[in-house]
Chains A and B, each alone.
Chain A
Amino acid sequence: MKENYWELRELVKLLIPRSIRIYRQSDYERKGLVEEKGRKRNYQEGDLFTGVHARHERLLNTEEMTSFLEVSLRAQGCPLPLNIDTWDGFICPYACVYCFANSFRASLYTSFFDNSRLMGLRHCNPDFFKRELDKLLIGRGKDLPNGNPVSRAVSMEIPMRFGIRFEDFIAREGKDKVSLELLQYLKGAAYPVMINTKSDLIGREDYVRALADNAGGAAIHMTMITSDEGLRRRLESGAPTFERRIKACRELTQAGVKVVARIEPFMTFVNDERGRVDEYIEQLRWAGITSLTFDTYSYSAQNPGIEEGFFRAGIDFRRMFLLMSDCQWLGSLLLGRFMDYFRSEGFRCSTFDFGNVPSNDDDLCCSVDAEFQKSGYNRGNILSAARLVMKGDGHSVKWGDFESWVEEGGGFLSNALREEVLRLWNLEERNAYQFDWIPGFKIVGVQEGALIWRYEVQTEDFREQMLDFIRRDL
Chain B
Amino acid sequence: MKISSIDEKRFSIAASLHAGGRFSNAVYCKGKDVFVCNTDHTVLIHFVAERPFDEEVRFFANDYASDELEMVEGGVVFLSRGKTSDAKILNRIPDTTFSEIAELYKKYQPKRLTNRVTLSRALVFEHLQEDLSHIEFGSQGGSFFIVQRDLYSGRLIKAWPKEGRLGLFRTEGDWEFRGYRTSDVKALLDFMESLGGESLDMYFVDPFYSWVKNDKLKMDGMVTTCLYDELGELGILGEDQKGGTNHGREEPKKRWRVKALDSTVEGELNNDDGKQRIIGKRRPLLSSE
Residues of B within 8 A of A46 (CB): 42, 208-209, 224-226
| A45-B40 in contact given A38-B152, A39-B151, A51-B261 (Cβ < 8 Å) | yes
Contact A45 B42 (CB under 8 A): yes
Size of chain B's interface in residues, with CB distance under 8 A? 28
Report the number of A-B residue pairs with Cβ-Cβ less than 8 Å. Answer: 70
Interface centre among B209, B227, B262, B265 (most CB of A within 10 A): B227
Q: Is B230 an interface residue (CB 8 A)?
A: yes
Residues of B within 8 A of A44 (CB): 226-228
Residues of A within 8 A of B227 (CB): 42-44, 53
Give CA–CA (A48, B37) in the complex, Å: 10
Q: Is B99 an interface residue (CB 8 A)?
A: no
Residues of B within 8 A of A39 (CB): 151
Contact B152 A37 (CB under 8 A): yes
Contact B133 A48 (CB under 8 A): no
Give CA–CA (A339, B134) in the complex, Å: 52
Q: Is A111 an interface residue (CB 8 A)?
A: yes
- 31-50 of chain A: CB within 8 A of chain B: 37-50
Residue in chain B with minimal CB distance to A51 = B261
Q: Is B15 an interface residue (CB 8 A)?
A: no
Residues of B within 8 A of A38 (CB): 151-152
Residues of B within 8 A of A111 (CB): 152
Size of chain A's interface in residues, with CB distance under 8 A? 19
Contact A48 B134 (CB under 8 A): no
Residues of A within 8 A of B133 (CB): 40
Contact B262 A52 (CB under 8 A): yes
Main secondary structure of the interface of A (DSSP, over half): loop
| A41-B209 in contact given A47-B41, A111-B152 (Cβ < 8 Å) | no
Contact A48 B151 (CB under 8 A): no
- 149-163 of chain B: CB within 8 A of chain A: 151-152
| A40-B262 in contact given A47-B224, A48-B41, A48-B209 (Cβ < 8 Å) | no
Give CA–CA (A39, B134) in the complex, Å: 11
Q: Is B44 an interface residue (CB 8 A)?
A: yes
Residues of A within 8 A of B222 (CB): 48
Give CA–CA (A38, B132) in the complex, Å: 13
Give CA–CA (A47, B133) in the complex, Å: 17
Residues of A within 8 A of B44 (CB): 48
Q: Is B122 an interface residue (CB 8 A)?
A: no
Contact A40 B228 (CB under 8 A): yes
Q: Mark B118-160, 1 if CB is under 8 A from A, else 0.
A: 0000000000000001100000000000000001100000000
13 more contacts with CB within 8 A, not counting A40-B228, A43-B228, A53-B227, are A38-B151, A40-B133, A41-B228, A41-B229, A44-B228, A45-B42, A48-B104, A50-B260, A51-B208, A51-B260, A52-B261, A52-B262, A53-B225
Residues on B lying within 8 angstroms of A by beta carbon are 37, 40-42, 44, 104, 108, 133-134, 151-152, 181, 208-209, 222, 224-230, 258, 260-263, 265
